[in-house]
Amino acid sequence: MSQPGQTFISIRNLNKSYGTFQVLHGIDLDIDEGEVVCVIGPSGSGKSTLIRCVNHLEAFASKSVISVDGIRVEPGDALAKVRAEVGMVFQSFNLFPHMTVLKNVMLAPMRVRKTDRVEAERKARELLVRVGISEQAEKYPGQLSGGQQQRVAIARALAMEPRVLLFDEPTSSLDPEMVGEVLDVMRKLAGTGVTMVIVTHEMGFARQVADRVIFMDSGRLVEAGTPSEIFDTPKEERTRSFLRAVLNH
Amino acid sequence: MNLINTFFNIDVLIDSLPQLLWGLVVTLQIGITSIICGLAGGLLLAVSRLYAPRVIKLLIHGYVDIFRSIPLLVLLIVVYYALPFVGILLSPFLSAVTALSLVSAAYSAEIFRAGIEAIPRGQFEASSALGLSNKHTMIDVILPQAIRIVIPPLTNNCINVLKDTALASVVAMPDLLKQATQAQALAANPTPLIGAAIIYVLLLWPMVATVARLEKHYSRGRS
């Protein structure tokens, strides 16, 4: 078990290609327990691919090494252990449309952790209160707004009591007026000590919440630092031009 | 008048009705057994094709293609008349059920596969990210959604299986058609055949209408 401040996710020489097109070039990155990391960068820079490698939703080059809490991420029995510790929230929510909100949140603890139904339901209702949608527990995902669905998805990920939460552009497919409610939930989470890796285009949120901001471009990790280092005094010209483009519009 | 006496002879029909109804029972036994075996086999093939090693995948692919190509009547005759030469002797009932199930499984496998492929990748990814095993991903997440989509084509397939049970009469199975031809020979009148045809229609019409309604229902928008 790692302690707060110790390396929790370790990424070494991460390479990934789709056919002949290389999307990630030798990424090295350590993320500490309890750290909140925001990954920013232009579309197609490999941000999403990077975090999707952490729980092996994307396979990566065999010489690359990712480990989570000391467990190597690779196909096989250990992967289930990693995935139980790593929650993920997707851009398109990916809720299970044929189950009620409550069942969506209860499923994984019951099947993976073997939690009994009563306890799983108690926990699920508690989480739905925490993300502010307890009244919608018996509804189906299709009956909810995008913002509400994404908050259910966060509750579903939290139900496994993960030690890391990966967010893959969690607000990118939301109507503007719903972005705030999801960011609020994430902001509260950041204060609870859970490790978070967030791919986002919300620069204000990144500046406010992140312990560290990572700027990626063309599959390379260009620059990493505190929010003020990246946003106020970026060292790389590529970072500066990206920030100019996204902040001045 | 002559025509009615020939094709719709009430006396002949009443005489042969018990025999026809026994035939219907046999037809339903063959049909329902084959439908159940075919659906179960098809589901197993479709899911195996998704997760099995490459060799098994190719074998399943071959199975599905071969059994969709072979005429059912040919298969039935091979099972009943050819297999005894290698020591496999199946009763008429088992021969009919085997041939119907093998073919129905091939068609069902393709239908289930199409249903599973219609489920967005995000559903698989969300299941994986939660740590669900392949088994639970299928049982809890994918199949409940996929089966809903494929109910109309599966029902169509069931109708085809029920209709194809009539082929069992060539292996001396006393099904509805066989009973009708026997009754016709006995009465020297074709009315029992007409009776059998009407029974087939009465049995299958509601199913055909149900499929049409289901297809309309599903195409009206799933949200």
ipTM field: 0.93
Q: Find out whether B69 and B111 touch, Cβ atoms under 8 Å.
A: no
Query: For A213-227, B2-16, B46-60, B118-132, which range has the lowest pLDDT when averaged over its residues?
Result: B2-16
* Average pLDDT estimate for B18-34: 94
| The pLDDT of residue B125 | 97
The pLDDT tens digits for B129-159 are 999 999 999 999 999 999 989 999 999 999 9
Tell me, letter by letter, the H, E, C secondary structure of chain A. CCCCCCEEEEEEEEEEEECCEEEEEEEEEEEECCCEEEEECCCCCCHHHHHHHHCCCCCCCCCCEEEECCEECCCCHHHHHHHHHEEEECCCCCCCCCCCHHHHHHHHHHHHCCCCHHHHHHHHHHHHHHCCCHHHCCCCHHHCCHHHHHHHHHHHHHCCCCCEEEEECCCCCCCHHHHHHHHHHHHHHHCCCCEEEEECCCHHHHHHHCCEEEEEECCEEEEEECHHHHHCCCCCHHHHHHHHHHHCC
Q: What pTM, to 2 d.p., does this model score?
A: 0.88
pLDDT in tens, chain A (249 residues): 445 668 899 999 999 999 889 999 999 999 999 999 999 999 999 999 999 999 999 999 989 999 999 999 999 888 988 999 999 999 999 999 999 999 999 999 999 999 999 999 999 999 999 999 999 999 999 999 999 999 999 999 999 999 999 999 999 999 999 999 999 999 999 989 899 999 999 999 999 999 999 999 999 999 999 999 999 999 999 999 999 998 876
| pLDDT band, very low/low/confident/very high, at B12 (cuts 50, 70, 90) | confident
Residue ranges of A 178-237 with Cβ closer than 8 A to chain B: none
Q: What is the overall mean pLDDT for chain B? A: 91
| The pLDDT of residue A4 | 62
| The pLDDT of residue A24 | 95
Q: What is the DSSP letter of B19?
A: H
The pLDDT tens digits for B56-102 are 999 999 999 999 999 999 999 999 999 999 998 999 999 999 999 99
Residue B144, min C-alpha distance to chain A (Å): 8
Q: In which order are the strands placed within the sheet that holds A71-72? A: A21-32, A7-18, A65-68, A71-72
Q: Using a CB-CB distance cutoff of 8 angstroms, which residues of chain A are in contact with residue B122?
A: 90, 92, 94
| The pLDDT of residue B223 | 40
| Largest interatomic CA distance in chain B | 75
Q: Quick one: tokens of B32?
A: 């329902």
**Is B125's CB within 8 Å of A108's CB?**
no
Asked if A109 reaches chain B (Cβ–Cβ under 8 Å), the answer is no
Residue A76, min C-alpha distance to chain B (Å): 11
